[in-house]
């Protein structure tokens, strides 16, 4: 058992690898009554091509990770969610682009729900009939999301921005890919990604760490696992240019919306470098496109931006984007406004320090939410980053960093996506 104490955040975590190869991390919260346990695999919507050490390539259909998440809740013993409820725990799961996470929270003793969580992710028993039934449910879900303005706007933006990157796919896939997913395909995805050595369990609890490790060890010692498949995601060579510079789509809506998204080309190899770059760009953009800017209210009064206005910055492995979104009927004017203000954007030392203090305060407060803290820990670990260091990366940002990172913005390398009202 490895103990790690962070004096600054007053947090202690314990790490241990059980005999199956599963790494278990306990975020010890003395005095807490409740517990949250999460188990995750680094398999999400963006993993559409895997390769083993022998060079064999496995093509993964878009939406497979999400489909598999749904199917693992299937059990011959009965309804899994009902069983957790009867044990005094609430259970759920989610699939993102980068991981799939199963988790529960409880105020009761942790032993029963912990064993249930370990049990249902440790096996897959599905039938052709159940896959066919789930296929219909997921397709209906995709159709529903396609009619939701905000989620559809983001989806169409990613489709316009990326040429080869899996971000151009919805996490749930599309109707064509979901229709192509078979029982055998799901079993292959499970075999490649759900071995204990590829997964990570994080438990945030007031329970003694050794008890958690003993419970997990006892559970896994009674199970047999196949040899671990040594696979990794195949690197995607995303072209520098956007897939389409302008795109319009229609829905039955009252308010028209647009995104203007700049494709950022970078060569940042480490997660710490990417996230520090992300922070630097976010701080610059926030100092300009928020109430911190004295002319922000004037933009609102003139209708240049709306209450819906906002931005997103994301620098990941092999991709980068700066997205602005707004409620507007004039997407061309919105685009010109952004181009102009990005060129004029600046940040003072005083504003930089103010924002750094704000975000550091948020980092401290986030440690009070057990699930949020555990999810952040999982993501840092899968990205080969130190969790506690990741909380303070914003502190390291300087004005020089900001001036350097702003060079990633190419005003000519962008896409404009507009949501228009359907003509009935």
pLDDT digits (tens, 9 = 90+) for 75-106: 777 789 999 999 999 999 999 999 999 999 99
340-370 exposure pattern, b = at least 16 Cβ within 10 A, e = fewer? ebbeebebeeebbeebbeebeeebeeebeeb
- Do 260 and 192 sit in the same domain of this protein? no
What's the whole-number mean pLDDT along residues 57-82? 91
What is the spatial distance between Cα 309 and Cα 289, in angstroms, rounded to a whole number? Answer: 9
- Do 126 and 264 sit in the same domain of this protein? no
Which CATH number is 172's domain given? 3.30.830.10
Q: Is 395 exposed, middle or buried (0-12, 13-18, 19+ CB in 10 A)?
A: middle
Contacts of 179 (CB under 8 A, 6+ apart): 135, 139
**Of the residues 233, 256, 278, which one is the last residue of a structural domain?**
233
Q: pLDDT by residue (tens digit) across 328-358?
A: 999 999 999 999 999 999 999 999 999 999 9
**Of the residues 233, 258, 282, which one is the last residue of a structural domain?**
233
**Of the residues 233, 259, 283, which one is the last residue of a structural domain?**
233
- Do 24 and 121 sit in the same domain of this protein? yes
- Do 358 and 211 sit in the same domain of this protein? no
Query: Is 68 part of a structural domain of the chain?
Result: yes
Instruction: Provide the pLDDT confidence category of residue 424 given band limits of 50, 70 and 90.
Output: low
Q: pLDDT by residue (tens digit) across 240-293?
A: 999 999 999 999 999 999 999 999 999 999 999 999 999 999 999 999 999 999
Range of the domain at 283: 246-421
102-122 exposure pattern, b = at least 16 Cβ within 10 A, e = fewer? bbbbbeeebebbbebbbbbbb
Can you give the pLDDT at residue 25? Answer: 99
- Do 28 and 146 sit in the same domain of this protein? yes
Query: What rounded mean pLDDT belongs to the chain?
Result: 96
- Do 123 and 260 sit in the same domain of this protein? no
Can you give the pLDDT at residue 76? Answer: 73
Query: Is 134 part of a structural domain of the chain?
Result: yes
Instruction: Provide the pLDDT confidence category of residue 121 given band limits of 50, 70 and 90.
Output: very high
- Do 195 and 276 sit in the same domain of this protein? no
Query: Is 238 part of a structural domain of the chain?
Result: no
Q: pLDDT by residue (tens digit) across 215-246?
A: 999 999 999 999 888 899 998 899 999 999 99
Can you give the pLDDT at residue 78? Answer: 74
Query: Is 192 part of a structural domain of the chain?
Result: yes
Q: Is 414 exposed, middle or buried (0-12, 13-18, 19+ CB in 10 A)?
A: buried
> Which of 121, 103, 118 is closest to 190 using CA atoms?
121
Query: Is 397 part of a structural domain of the chain?
Result: yes
Can you give the pLDDT at residue 423? Answer: 80
Can you give the pLDDT at residue 174? Answer: 96
- Do 278 and 159 sit in the same domain of this protein? no
Can you give the pLDDT at residue 394? Answer: 97
Q: Could you tell me the CA-to-CA distances from 151 to 13, 154, 156, 257, 321 in Å, in that order?
A: 36, 5, 9, 12, 17
Domains in the chain, number: 2
What is the spatial distance between Cα 107 and Cα 28, in angstroms, rounded to a whole number? Answer: 15
Query: Is 240 part of a structural domain of the chain?
Result: no
């Amino acid at each position: 058992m490895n103990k790690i104490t962070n004096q600054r955040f007053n947090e202690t975590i314990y790490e241990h690898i059980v005999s199956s190869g599963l790494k278990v991390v306990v975020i010890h919260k003395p005095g807490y009554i409740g517990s949250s346990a999460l188990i995750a695999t680094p398999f999400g919507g963006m993993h559409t091509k895997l390769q083993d050490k022998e060079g064999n390539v496995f093509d993964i259909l878009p939406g497979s990770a999400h489909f598999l998440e749904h199917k693992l809740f299937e059990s011959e013993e009965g309804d899994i969610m009902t069983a957790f409820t009867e044990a005094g725990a609430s259970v759920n799961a989610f699939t993102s682009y980068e991981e799939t996470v199963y988790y529960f929270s409880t105020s009761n003793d942790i032993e029963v729900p912990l064993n249930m969580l370990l049990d249902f992710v440790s096996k897959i028993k599905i039938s052709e009939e159940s896959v066919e039934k789930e296929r219909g449910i997921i397709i209906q879900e995709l159709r529903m999301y396609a009619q939701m303005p905000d989620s559809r706007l983001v989806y169409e933006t990613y489709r316009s921005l990326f040429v080869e990157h899996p971000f151009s796919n919805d996490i749930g896939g599309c109707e064509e890919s979901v229709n192509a997913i078979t029982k055998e395909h799901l079993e292959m995805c499970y075999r490649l990604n759900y071995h204990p050595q590829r997964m990570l369990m994080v438990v945030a609890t007031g329970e003694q760490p050794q008890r958690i490790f003993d419970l997990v060890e006892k559970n896994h010692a009674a199970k047999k696992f196949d040899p671990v498949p040594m696979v990794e995601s195949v690197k995607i060579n995303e072209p520098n240019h956007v897939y389409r510079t302008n795109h319009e789509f229609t829905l039955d809506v009252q308010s028209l919306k647009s995104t203007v998204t700049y494709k950022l080309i970078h060569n940042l190899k480490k997660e710490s470098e990417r996230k520090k770059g992300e922070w630097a760009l976010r701080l610059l953009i926030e100092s300009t496109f928020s109430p911190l800017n004295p002319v922000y209210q004037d933009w609102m009064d003139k209708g240049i931006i709306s209450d819906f206005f906002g931005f997103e910055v994301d620098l990941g492995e092999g991709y980068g984007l700066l997205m602005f979104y707004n409620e507007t009927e004039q997407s061309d004017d919105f685009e010109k406004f952004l181009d102009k203000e990005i060129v004029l954007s600046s940040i003072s030392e005083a504003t930089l320090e103010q924002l750094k203090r704000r975000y550091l305060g948020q980092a401290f407060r986030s440690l009070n939410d057990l699930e949020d803290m555990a999810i952040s820990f999982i993501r840092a670990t899968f990205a080969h980053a130190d969790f506690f260091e990741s909380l303070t990366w914003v502190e390291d940002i300087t004005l020089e960093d900001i001036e350097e990172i702003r060079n990633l913005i190419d005003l000519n390398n962008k896409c404009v996506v507009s949501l228009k009202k359907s003509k009935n």
